[in-house]
Amino acid sequence: MKRFSLILLLTVAVPACAVDSDGFVPLFNGRDLTGWVNANCAPETWSVRDGMIHCTGQPTGALRTERQYENFVLEVEWRHLVSGGNSGVFIWGTPIAAPGVPFLRGIEVQVLDHGYAEQYEKQNGKKSDWFTTHGDVFPIHGASMKPFGRHNGDRSFPSEDRSKGFPEWNHYRIVGTNGVLRLSVNGKEVSGGENCNYRKGYLALESEGAPVEFRNLRLQELPSSGASPELTAPLDLGWRPLFTGLDLRGWQTNAVTASRWQAGGGRIVLTSGEADAAATLWTDKDFGDAEFVLDCRPAKPAEGKSAVVPTIFLRGTGGNGVEVKLEGAAPGSYQRYVVTLKGREVTVKRNGQETQSRTLPANALAQGAFGLCAAGGAVEFMNLCVRDL
């Protein structure tokens, strides 16, 4: 009995995530990416090497936390592995990318190597007046912030140049409280802003073109100040990417039309050609009840030609499926569509507004592949995500 009690006591006394004496807990266990979610990158973009989070930089995207944070102190060390490397830490971000871009909506704390500014000066014959490499802080893609100190628009510039260049390590201390964000670079506060919207959301690391590493990520949560729903990022509902951002792994199409489908830079592109259902690009995986997110941008039609009509297929097999046209797609600009399929009922929303509601035929499959196509010309797709219902 005494032995059992001792074992139980030892089991309870060892927490899953130990708290340091100063109140911090690690955000990264040094072994794997437990607690983190690949928002929109390839499987190999983010990995663990020698106790560090390693990022290839390809494609542009994010690795985010599983849960949201409101008020906190975050510490992280980073280093670039090539001159001119670009990355960032996203604060109070969304669970998936903002429409038409590969970035989460949120406040970005810039992680930029000095070589980037040196290349800019060489190409333009002058130093940049719109960015620095020492810890800029700025809102992106729908977020907002009133910057502190010297700034350009809503971009807060650091008061001192304190970051070290490739391949040295830098230390960031980021304090977020009640919509106020403050950044300290290598031991001294230099930039930030207030009136941030959102002021509760996910934390994320950015992949943006070049390899970068992060280590010693730790966080101290501070008491909530009650962020209202409109100042809180949407919750993750279980989204996962359908596209690597680099290639067509996980997709297949007819061999005759395969050359029309291209992938890279975070986009899937169908080049111009005849309207043909055989040109549909299908997922390898089948889906039952599910919700799909995708951004699409049709090409502008040639003179005298009809507008391109992006199309998806639901529950497909053997090259056939239930066709759903993405109404209202605007040539030259991205529109976000959310397609919900439950049982035989389908609803389609464009930019948050419902545009279609229909019932699948009685003979529709209970499960099947998801397909992309377009009638009348070229179209681009990006930010493809799915969640099971």
Query: Does 213 lie in the same domain as 82?
Result: yes
Query: Does 261 lie in the same domain as 230?
Result: no
| pLDDT the model gives residue 301 | 77
Assess whether the previous peptide bond of 59 is cis (omega < 30° from 0). yes
| pLDDT the model gives residue 16 | 45
Q: Examine residue 113 and state whether it is found in any structural domain, yes or no.
A: yes
What value does the mean pLDDT take over residues 124-141? 94
Q: Examine residue 381 and state whether it is found in any structural domain, yes or no.
A: yes
CB atoms within 10 A of CB 44: 11
Model confidence pLDDT, tens digit, residues 29-56: 999 999 999 999 999 999 999 999 999 9
Structural domain tally of the chain? Answer: 2
Query: Does 99 lie in the same domain as 223?
Result: yes
Model confidence pLDDT, tens digit, residues 5-29: 333 333 333 334 567 767 899 999 9
What value does the mean pLDDT take over residues 86-99? 98
What value does the mean pLDDT take over residues 304-329? 87
Q: Examine residue 215 and state whether it is found in any structural domain, yes or no.
A: yes
In whole angstroms, give the CA distance from residue 338 to residue 291: 7
What value does the mean pLDDT take over residues 287-302? 92
Burial status of residue 302 (CB atoms within 10 A of its CB: 0-12, 13-18, 19 or more)? exposed
Model confidence pLDDT, tens digit, residues 370-388: 999 887 678 999 999 999 9
Last residue of a domain, one of 236, 261, 284: 236
Contact 103, 146 (CB under 8 A): no
Query: Does 296 lie in the same domain as 231?
Result: no
Q: Which of 79-93, 146-160, 186-200, 373-387 has the lowest mean pLDDT?
A: 373-387
Domain that holds residue 310: 251-388
Is the pLDDT reported for residue 318 higher than 80? no
Q: Examine residue 1 and state whether it is found in any structural domain, yes or no.
A: no
| pLDDT the model gives residue 6 | 37
Query: Does 260 lie in the same domain as 215?
Result: no
What value does the mean pLDDT take over residues 81-103? 97
CB atoms within 10 A of CB 265: 14
Q: How many helices (H) does the chain have, and how many strands (E)?
A: 2, 30
In whole angstroms, give the CA distance from residue 258 to residue 278: 10
Query: Does 150 lie in the same domain as 58?
Result: yes
Query: Does 230 lie in the same domain as 255?
Result: no
Q: Which of 53-57, 98-102, 317-321, 351-355 has the lowest mean pLDDT?
A: 317-321
Query: Does 184 lie in the same domain as 265?
Result: no
pLDDT band (50, 70, 90) for residue 305: confident
Last residue of a domain, one of 185, 211, 236: 236
Residue at token pair 């390809």: 58
Query: Does 111 lie in the same domain as 48?
Result: yes
- For 351, residues 6+ apart whose C-beta sits below 8 A from its C-beta are 99, 335, 336
Query: Does 293 lie in the same domain as 168?
Result: no
Contact 115, 84 (CB under 8 A): yes
Q: By percentage, how much of the chain surpasses pLDDT 90? A: 80
Query: Does 197 lie in the same domain as 268?
Result: no
**CATH classification at residue 380:** 2.60.120.560
What value does the mean pLDDT take over residues 187-211? 97
Last residue of a domain, one of 174, 206, 236: 236
Q: Examine residue 349 and state whether it is found in any structural domain, yes or no.
A: yes
Q: Examine residue 313 and state whether it is found in any structural domain, yes or no.
A: yes
342-346: list long-range contacts, CB under 8 Å, 24+ apart: 342/289, 342/389, 343/289, 346/314, 346/322
Q: Examine residue 242 and state whether it is found in any structural domain, yes or no.
A: no
Query: Does 101 lie in the same domain as 175?
Result: yes
Q: Examine residue 331 and state whether it is found in any structural domain, yes or no.
A: yes
